[in-house]
Each structure stands twice: as structure tokens, then as C-alpha cells.
Amino acid sequence: MKEQKDAPQDRGYFVGIVFFILGLGTLLPWNFFMTASSYFQATLNTTEWINGTLVGGKDYHYVNWMTLLSQLPLLLFTLLNSILYQRISERIRIAGSLILVLLLFMFTAVLVKVPMEKDKFFSVTMATIWFINSFGAVLQGSLFGLVGLLPLKYSAIFMSGQGLAGTFAAIAMLVAIGSEAAPETAAMGYFITPCVGTLVTLISYLLLPRLAFAQYYFNKTNKYEAGTTDELLKESSMVENGKLNGHGGLAESERDPGTDETKRAFVSLESEKEQTKSSVLEVFKKIWLMAFCVTFVFTVTLSVFPAVTADVKTIFSKNWERFFITVSCFLTFNINDWIGRSITSFVQWPRKDSPVFVVLVVSRVIFIPLLMLCNVQPRSHLPVFFYHDAIFTVIMTVFSLSSGYFACLSMSYAPQLVEPKDAETAGALMTFFLALGLSLGAGLSFPLRALV
């Protein structure tokens, strides 16, 4: 939506700050479980070295299953959002989801201190991941619809906040690793952090009704709906008063196109026609290229991150090994992904109608073999071409920058390809294809990791 001239000012840029925090809050569940992969793998690991041989145990493939069970709920609830929107109010969907996410994070923090058999711990963890990301999917879909009612730059701010969620999780993990506390205490502190973050997100959302700038745009939608209803009531009244004849046309006394009332009737009907939203198929035909781009971007990204990249090993000392994946994989990815998303607020190149845009998006597929040929361990089939930590970090930097940049640009371009009345439909469709790309990438991560 374009910014209205008669809108109140966003004083102190509070609405922008609130939606930045809301964006951060939507991706806390995914990022905290992803960044904690080393903790969960260490907890679930039952193998040991005997006489130089890896013996016993069971590979739970935590990262692969965590990725898949995080993204499938997003795809499922994106499909169900149209039903949820009609039956459950926005306030209940957003505030309720945040409360349930908060409770599940608290449960995960407490679970750290509960002794449990490994198979049961894995099952409980996967169930928690499924449910916490299900509520997160409802939250994300609802907030994408809400931010779509505001001027376009707020969508970029919201996605920029999402990009920072991973950095927030990575820094929390670094603090936990670097602390002198016992591993269980450090893990509990790590999972208490998103509890605080989710609580701040909830408070931020509850502040929105007090911000005049936000309410102006939210109420504008309600006024439009009310105005449409009023027009229908007026037409019904005209029928009852005999001003429309039985054939659906104007009565004989009203048919002179020169009369003011006739003109008003024609203008009213034309205005209503213009405000009628296009069908989903009509909108899709206009944005299908951007839908393909956002799907492809996230398919490539999730196919190797974190399933492949989290298993890259450092060539340096064991002291650095404790921090290596958190810094070179998760922190590097999330900072640069956030930078890539943020750049779109200042630079939009290539333009939405340029074929170069699609070519650059598709060219990101080169990162799949590049990252698979890094020092991923254990491996069975492919050789290692890039042993050095620096090479892996450089590849991760370009990989994540391009992911954030092209994903955010695709999401921003789509509403510009349709009329303002169809912008919300375009946003909902793009959210679905975003979720589809994440799910396809998560599914593809299983064979790609096995191929290494």
C-alpha cells in the first residue's frame, strides 16, 4: 500500500520498531532450535571411538528432521490461513500464538534438566518443534497480512527483523558456549532467552492499538468494508422504492443519462467494480515469476543450510572448534542474510521486469555443490575441495547475502505487479510460495546430505 498524505505521522518511528520486533519474534522458534543443533546432537549422540573405530549408536539426523518439521507446519498453516482468518480474530491468532510459543519455549528450557532416554527425548523434541513452528506459522501468516495494510517500506522492515532473529539466536549460543556454567545450565539459559524475546514481542503487539499511525491504516480497511456494505444497502433501498425496474435497469424516469442521479448511479457502480478484488488465479498470473523466484531462493538455501553446512569441521584447534559452527555457519549466515534483506530498502536491482533478476536467482544453485565440497564430516562419496575455514566462510557470506537480498526483493516486488486492491492477495500467495520453497529445500536436504 502507498503512504497516504492524510495519514498521521509515525512518531518516533514506533510502528516501524514494533514491526521490526514482530518480525524478529516470528522466526525465534526456527532459529533457536536450528542454532542449538550442536547441543541436541551432543545430547543424542550415542557413538564412541573404540580402537580408532566409530562404534555403536544411532544417527538421529537431528538437523534434517528439525528443518523438515519446522517448515512443513509453515506450508500447512499457510494453506489453512484463509479458513483461520474467517473463523478466528486477528488478535486471538497473533496474541494466542505468541503465548503458546512462549509456553513451549519454557517447556524446552525445563526439559534440559529432565533425565530422559534418548529415543524419547528425540520424539519429545521433534513434537515440540512441530507444535512451536505450527503456532509460529499462524503468527507469521497473520503478521504478513497485517503489515501488508501499511506502506510498502514496513514490509521490508518486518522482513529485516526476521533476518535479525538468527543473529539474535547465534549470539545467545555464543554466550552460552563461552560461559563457565555447566552445559545443562548454559543450555537452560540459552532457551530462556527466546522466552524473554517472545514476551517482548507480545508486549510490542499489544502496543499497536495505541499507535495512531498503525490504527489509521488498519481502520481504513474496516471503513472500506463498511462503505461497501453501505453501497449495497443503498442499492437495495433503490429496488424497494421502485427506482430500479424489474429488468435490473434504471426506471424509465431515471434513464436520461443527463440527470445527476443517473450519473451518480453509474459512478457508484463503476467505483464498486474497481474495488472488487481479482481472483487468486488472476493475481497469480501477474506475480508467478516472483513466486517462482522466492520458491527457488529458499529451496536452494534450505537444501544445504543447515543440514550440510552445520557438519563442516574446522582445521584449527579444539578451542576454536567449540565456536566454529556457531560463528562461521550460523552467525555468518544470519548477519549477512539480514544485511541482504536490509539493502533492499535502499537498492532494488535488477528491476522487477528485468530478465537478469531471474538469471541471478537461478544462478544461486551453484552454492549447493560449493558447500557440499567444503570440509563436511562425516562424508562417504564426494571429495573435499575446500578444506580451509576462510574459504567456507567466504562462500557462506555470499550465499547468505544473496539469499536475503533476492528473497526480500521478490517479496517486495510482487505487490507492485498488481493493483492496490489485490496487494493483500499477492502477499498471501507469496507467503505460500515462500513456505513451499522452505519445505522443498528441507526435503531436498536429506538426499543432498546423504550424497556427501
pLDDT tens digits along 148-164: 788 878 887 887 788 78
Amino acid at 52: G
Residue closest to 23 by CA, chosen among 415, 404, 296: 404
How many angstroms separate the CA atoms of 144 and 162, rounded? 11
Helix (H) or strand (E) holding 64: helix 62-87
DSSP secondary structure letters along 90-102: HHHHHHHHHHHHH
Domain 8-217 has CATH 1.10.1740.10: no
What does the pLDDT read at residue 245? 40
How many angstroms separate the CA atoms of 426 and 422, rounded? 6
Matching fold, domains 8-217 and 279-452: yes
Yes or no: say if 295 and 437 are a contact pair by the CB < 8 Å rule. yes
How many angstroms separate the CA atoms of 311 and 376, rounded? 5
What does the pLDDT read at residue 227? 44
How many angstroms separate the CA atoms of 446 and 131, rounded? 22
Higher-pLDDT residue of 193, 274: 193
What does the pLDDT read at residue 235? 43
Measuring CA to CA, how many Å separate 31 from each of 26, 80, 188, 268? Answer: 10, 23, 16, 50
Amino acid at 48: E
Higher-pLDDT residue of 338, 333: 333
Q: Where are the domains of the chain?
A: 8-217, 279-452
Q: Is the pLDDT of residue 401 over 80?
A: yes
What does the pLDDT read at residue 268? 54
What does the pLDDT read at residue 217? 83
What does the pLDDT read at residue 421? 82
CA angle 167, 149, 27 (to 5 degrees): 20
The model's pLDDT over 113-138, given as tens digits with 9 standing for 90+, comes to 898 999 999 999 999 999 999 999 88
Amino acid at 134: S
322 grid coordinates: 567449540
* CATH of range 279-452; options 1.10.4100, 1.20.1250, 1.10.20, 1.10.287: 1.20.1250
pTM over 0.85: no
Average pLDDT over residues 229-254: 42
Average pLDDT over residues 287-291: 96
What does the pLDDT read at residue 387? 94
Average pLDDT over residues 58-86: 84
Average pLDDT over residues 59-81: 87
Cis check: omega of the bond before 151, within 30 degrees of 0: no
